[in-house]
Amino acid sequence: MDLDLDERTTAFRDEVRAWLAENVPKRPLASFDTAEGFEQHRRWEAKLADARLSVVSWPREYGGRDASLLEWVLFEEEYYAAGAPGRVGQNGIFMLAPTLFSHGTPEQRKRILPAMARGEQVWAQAWSEPEAGSDIAALRSTATRTDGGWLLSGQKVWSSRATYADRAFGLFRSDQDSERHRGLTYVMFDLRADGVRVRPIPQLDGEPGFAEIFLDEVFVPDADVIGEPGEGWRVAMTTANNERGLSLRSPGRFLAAADRLVRLWRETHGDTETALAARVADAWIQARAYQLYTFGTVTRLAEGGELGPESSVNKLFWSHLDVGLHETALELLGPDAELSGKTGWPEGWLFSLAGPIYGGTDQIQRNVVAERLLGLPRGQR
C-alpha cells in the first residue's frame, strides 16, 4: 500500500477533522448504559448520519458515502483523536451490517441498514447463553418452524446494549437432532415483541451494560432469517470475524489512547527516568504496529481477500494492547489512580479487562490460530 495520501483521501480526512472539531460535544455524553445516556448517544448517531459520517464505508443508498477502507481507517483515527463519543450503534454497524452485506437479502439491507445508520434502531448482540459463552456451538435456544416464520424459545445472557436497544440478532438451534455448529439458524428479533423479557444485569458501577433475554415462543417472520435456515454457523463466522478483526477495534482507538498515555507521562513524570518510560514507549510502538498491520489488512481486502481466521491474531493483539495501555496509565497515576475518575483511565482499564473474554476468549483465539492457521492438531475440548 502506498501510504502517501492522494488528493481525494486528504480532502476526506480534512473534512472529517474539521467537522469533528466543530461538532464533538464539549462535555462528555452520559454513559450509554443509562437511559439518559442511551438517548443522548442515539441523537449523536443521527447527527453523524446527517453529515453522512455514521457509516462512511457503506454505499450511499444506505446512508454511507462509498468511502474506501483506507478512508474508513482514517475516519476512525480522526474520530478517536477528537475524543468523540462512543458508538451506541456499534453492535449493528460493525457486526450485523457486515453480515447483512455478505449474507442478507436486498430487502433486508434496504429495510434495516438506513434505520441502523441513523440510530433509529439500535441492536443488541444475543449470542451467549448460560452454558454457551465462548463455546457458542453449545447453545440450546431453539427456533421451531411455524406458518410464515419461526418461534424462538430459550435464554440469552450477557447481551450488550439489550437493556435499552430496539432489536437483537443471534443464533438458534432449528434442527433439534443436530449437534454443535450444525442445524443452527441466524435470526433477528424485536426486543419488544410478545414473549420477550429483558432482565438487566448491573455491572460493578451499577449500570446495566448487559442483560439477560428470555424468549417464550417469540414469532419472527422468514424475512428476519439471515442466510439459509440451518446454515447459521457459516453466517455467524462473518459476524465473529468482524468482531475480532478490523471492524470493531480499528487502530484509531489505540492510537488515541497511546498518545494520551504519552501526554500523561509528560504531565506526571516530566524528565524523570523510570522503568515506566520503557512501557510507555512500548505501548506507543505497539499501537503504531497495529496501525501498520491494519494497512496490510486493508490492502488484502481491497484485493478481494477476506478477514478469515487471521482475525483471531488481531483479537489477541488488540485486547492485550488495551490492557497494557491502561495498566501503564494507572501506574503512572500512582496511588491516586482509582480516584482519578475524570481522566477516564480507571473506567477504560475496567473495560479493557473484558477484552480477552468478549468476542471469544484468548483460549478460543489461540485454538483458532493453532488449528486453522498453523495446522496443528486439534486440542482437547
Q: Does domain 249-374 have CATH number 3.30.70.260?
A: no
What is the mean pLDDT of the segment spanning 159-187?
Answer: 92
What is the mean pLDDT of the segment spanning 137-147?
Answer: 92
CA distance 76 to 111: 26
CA distance 192 to 170: 16
Indicate whether 322 pLDDT > 80: yes
CA distance 175 to 375: 31
For residue 169, what are the β-bridge partners? Answer: 125, 188
Q: Which residue has the cell 462512511?
A: 56
Say whether 243 is catalytic.
yes
CA distance 19 to 373: 42
Q: How far apart are the first and last CA of the chain?
A: 40
- Calculate the alpha carbon distances from 336 to 278, 333, 346 in Å: 22, 6, 10
Environment class of residue 39 by beta-carbon count within 10 Å: exposed (0-12), middle (13-18) or buried (19+)? Answer: middle
CB 208 within 8 A of CB 183: no
Q: How many Cβ atoms from other residues are within 10 Å of residue 8's Cβ?
A: 11
| Lookup: cell for 25 | 460535544
Q: What is the pLDDT of residue 91?
A: 92
What is the mean pLDDT of the segment spanning 115-138?
Answer: 88
- Calculate the alpha carbon distances from 205 to 18, 129, 213 in Å: 35, 23, 21
Of the candidates 78, 129, 243, 310, the residue annotated as catalytic is: 243
Indicate whether 352 pLDDT > 80: yes
The SS3 call for residue 171 is strand
The CB-side HSE value for 146 (13 A sphere, CA atoms) comes to 13
Amino acid (1-letter code) at residue 344? G
- CA nearest 92: which of 7, 153, 169, 155? 169
Amino acid (1-letter code) at residue 100? L
| Domain 123-232 superfamily per CATH | Butyryl-CoA Dehydrogenase, subunit A, domain 2 (2.40.110.10)
What is the mean pLDDT of the segment spanning 29-35?
Answer: 91
What is the mean pLDDT of the segment spanning 341-345?
Answer: 76
| Lookup: cell for 232 | 447459521
Q: What is the pLDDT of residue 340?
A: 64
Amino acid (1-letter code) at residue 183? G
Q: What are phi and psi of 70, to 5 degrees?
A: -60, -40
Indicate whether 54 pLDDT > 60: yes
Q: Do 123-232 and 249-374 fold alike per CATH?
A: no
Three-state SS string over 300-317 comes to HHHCCCCCCCHHHHHHHH
> Which helix or strand (DSSP H or E) is residue 211 part of?
strand 210-221
Strand residues in 147-208 grouped as ranges (E): 149-156, 167-173, 184-190, 196-201
Where do the structural domains in the chain lie, given as residue ranges? 7-87, 123-232, 249-374
Q: Which residue has the cell 515506566?
A: 276
Which pLDDT tens digit goes with each residue over 359-375?
A: 788 888 899 899 988 99
CA distance 125 to 8: 36
CA 30 remoteness from chain centre = 20
Q: What is the pLDDT of residue 177?
A: 85
For residue 210, what are the β-bridge partners? Answer: 201
What is the mean pLDDT of the segment spanning 90-104?
Answer: 92
CA distance 315 to 321: 10
CA distance 298 to 301: 5
> Considering the chain, what percentage of its residues have pLDDT values greater than 70?
95
Indicate whether 341 pLDDT > 60: yes
The model carries a pTM of: 0.87
Which pLDDT tens digit goes with each residue over 179-223?
A: 788 999 999 999 999 999 999 998 877 888 899 999 999 999 999
Q: How many Cβ atoms from other residues are within 10 Å of residue 359's Cβ?
A: 25
Indicate whether 247 pLDDT > 60: no
Which pLDDT tens digit goes with each residue over 258-317?
A: 999 999 999 888 777 778 899 999 999 999 999 998 888 888 888 877 777 888 888 899
DSSP conformational letter for 132: B
Indicate whether 243 pLDDT > 70: no
CB 254 within 8 A of CB 320: no
Angle of helix 251-269 relative to helix 310-333, nearest 10 degrees, comes to 20
Q: What is the pLDDT of residue 344?
A: 83
Q: What is the pLDDT of residue 305?
A: 78
